[in-house]
């Protein structure tokens, strides 16, 4: 965390693959080889949790804060391991090369994963590695697998609308449903085993190449999830176990009505009474998955915007303080060298900065935010950077650098950019200038979205916040990575001392 380093932001689903979506197969290992050859030492990914087409396939909306996303399992690796036959993965629909068609690819992956389970389920009791995986992850996988089986049995309805005995997790109901749905539960555990086996193999390969993985941990969980169903006592719910309040952010410069996220908010007093045991498990778990963890919406650990559930916008919420100092004291007591990054974008108050300074937690600096009319004092402009931060040209929620310059930057923004750089900048070269500014920053860490490294435009944007269609679908092609690109990135890394 204290060395000059650089790396790339690319989600797993954005990797090339013949199977319609990026996965943990050969293209992932080739991407690691590219990073190593280009002298990069960081790979940042988005949350790996299961996504849902009904919620726009966002990795920030999931049935579980612990489980892995089935679509990232590589069919080719399953064939190589003898779990599938080559014929099992052939004859599928034609997939687009540069986008993810989640409906089609999810149906395809579910079909071949059912085949994988059918091929192996009679032998699962003899696979020691699978048994060990289930035992080591019992604190979440038992609840999650039952939750998924129940969701399918009740045709997808929200868990709070299930029959009262299982909604409220009566001991007899949990036992009886576990017996009734035991085959589907076992299949879900097997699929999670495959996911994490492939993931940890890829992570090990990264680490042998001296590349560390930055993971992303959303502060909130989805209401309709195994997490809330299994531990309702740590969320603000009513007697019917439905939310009393939901999370969001208040009105600001970007939105007159704020943002209504809809996630249930935590009972921080209850969490404190338990010694934050749920959060300790979650952090410990993510430190196994990743080398460094980005905490999304960091300011919510200091104080959070709480909105009554009946509200249609985020206007009528209120700030509620969380026991932030006690919480982070507890985290650092358990994890003395806690490698975390704070997502501190947006309006950040002095109390948040104080906590980050107190615990030495680096924040984020996004260069696309740097060229407003407050240029000299803007915290995102390179001359105001500090060592303890991570510099990005943009994030998954921003336009690409090229797309921003073409579509969003106004004449005054472009004039300030020209003056700051001391020369004219073209649309085709803007991404290179932003990468150079990031690399030369005093900041210890730099992470560049793959779209900006490739110089791609708005059509390659990953996510447009407050929209639910056509997000999270971008993929790059193998031919995008050329020897010239590797040389250019490697040279910049060396020049600015990040190799």
Catalytic (active site) residue 397? yes
- 188, 227, 296, 452: the catalytic one is 296
- 10 Å Cβ neighbour count for 172? 9
Q: Which residues pair with 449 in a beta bridge?
A: 9
- 10 Å Cβ neighbour count for 302? 22
Catalytic (active site) residue 252? no
Please check whether residue 457 is in contact with residue 403, taking contact to mean a CB–CB distance below 8 angstroms: yes
Cα separation of 479 and 256, whole Å? 43
Catalytic (active site) residue 224? no
**In degrees rounded to 5, what are phi and psi of residue 433?**
-65, -40
- 81, 101, 397, 458: the catalytic one is 397
Report angle CA 68, 70, 74 to the nearest 5 degrees: 110
What angle, 0 to 180 degrees and rounded to 10, lies between the N-to-C axes of helices 102-120 and 182-208? 100
Please check whether residue 149 is in contact with residue 185, taking contact to mean a CB–CB distance below 8 angstroms: yes
CA distances in angstroms from 338 to 45, 138, 293, 335, listed in the order given: 18, 24, 9, 5
- 76, 343, 344, 413: the catalytic one is 343
Buried b (16+ CB within 10 A) or exposed e, 322-354: bbbeebbebbeeeeeebebbbbbbeebeeebee
Buried b (16+ CB within 10 A) or exposed e, 381-401: bbebbeebbbbbbbbbebbbb
Q: Which residues are catalytic?
A: 296, 343, 397
């Amino acid at each position: 965390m204290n060395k000059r380093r650089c790396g790339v932001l690319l989600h797993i689903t954005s990797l090339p693959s013949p199977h319609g979506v990026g996965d943990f197969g050969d293209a992932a290992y080739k991407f690691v080889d590219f990073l190593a050859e280009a002298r990069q030492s960081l790979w940042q990914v988005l949350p790996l949790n299961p996504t849902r087409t009904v919620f726009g396939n966002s990795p920030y909306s999931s049935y579980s804060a612990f489980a892995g996303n089935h679509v990232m399992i590589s069919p080719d690796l399953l064939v190589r391991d003898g779990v599938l036959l080559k014929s099992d993965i052939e004859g599928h629909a034609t997939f687009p090369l540069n986008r993810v068609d989640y409906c089609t690819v999810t149906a395809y992956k579910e079909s071949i994963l059912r085949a994988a389970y059918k091929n192996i389920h009679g032998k699962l009791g003899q696979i020691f590695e699978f048994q060990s995986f289930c035992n080591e992850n019992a604190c979440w996988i038992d609840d999650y697998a039952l939750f998924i089986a129940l969701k399918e049995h009740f045709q997808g309805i929200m868990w709070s609308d299930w029959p009262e005995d299982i909604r409220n997790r009566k001991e007899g109901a949990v036992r009886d449903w576990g017996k009734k749905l035991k085959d589907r539960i076992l299949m879900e555990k097997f699929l999670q085993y495959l996911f994490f086996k492939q993931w940890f193999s890829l992570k090990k390969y990264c680490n042998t190449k001296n590349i560390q993985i930055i993971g992303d941990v959303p502060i909130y969980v989805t209401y309709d999830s195994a997490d809330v169903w299994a531990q309702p006592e740590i969320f603000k719910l009513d007697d019917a176990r439905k939310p009393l309040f939901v999370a969001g952010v208040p009105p600001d410069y970007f939105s007159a009505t704020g943002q209504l996220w809809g996630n249930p908010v935590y009972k921080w007093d209850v969490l404190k009474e338990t010694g934050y045991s749920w959060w300790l498990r979650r952090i410990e778990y993510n430190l196994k998955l990743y080398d460094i963890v980005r905490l999304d919406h960091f300011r919510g650990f200091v104080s959070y915007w709480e909105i009554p559930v009946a509200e249609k916008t985020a206007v009528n919420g209120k700030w509620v303080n969380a026991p932030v100092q006690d919480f982070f004291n507890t985290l650092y007591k358990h994890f003395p060298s806690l490698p975390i990054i704070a997502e501190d974008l947006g309006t950040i108050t002095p109390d948040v900065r104080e906590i980050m300074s107190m615990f030495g937690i680096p924040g984020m600096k996004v260069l696309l935010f740097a060229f407003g009319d407050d240029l000299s004092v803007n915290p995102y402009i390179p001359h105001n950077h500090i060592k303890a931060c991570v510099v990005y040209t943009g994030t998954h929620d921003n336009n690409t650098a090229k797309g921003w310059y073409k579509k969003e930057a106004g004449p005054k923004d472009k004039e300030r950019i020209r003056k700051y750089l001391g020369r004219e900048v073209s649309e085709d070269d803007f991404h290179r200038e932003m990468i150079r500014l990031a690399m030369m920053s005093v900041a210890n860490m730099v992470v560049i979205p793959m779209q900006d490294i490739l110089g791609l435009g708005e059509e390659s944007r990953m996510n447009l916040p407050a929209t639910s269609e056509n997000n999270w679908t971008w993929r790059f092609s193998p031919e995008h990575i050329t020897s010239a690109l590797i040389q250019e990135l490697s040279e910049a890394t060396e020049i600015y001392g990040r190799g």
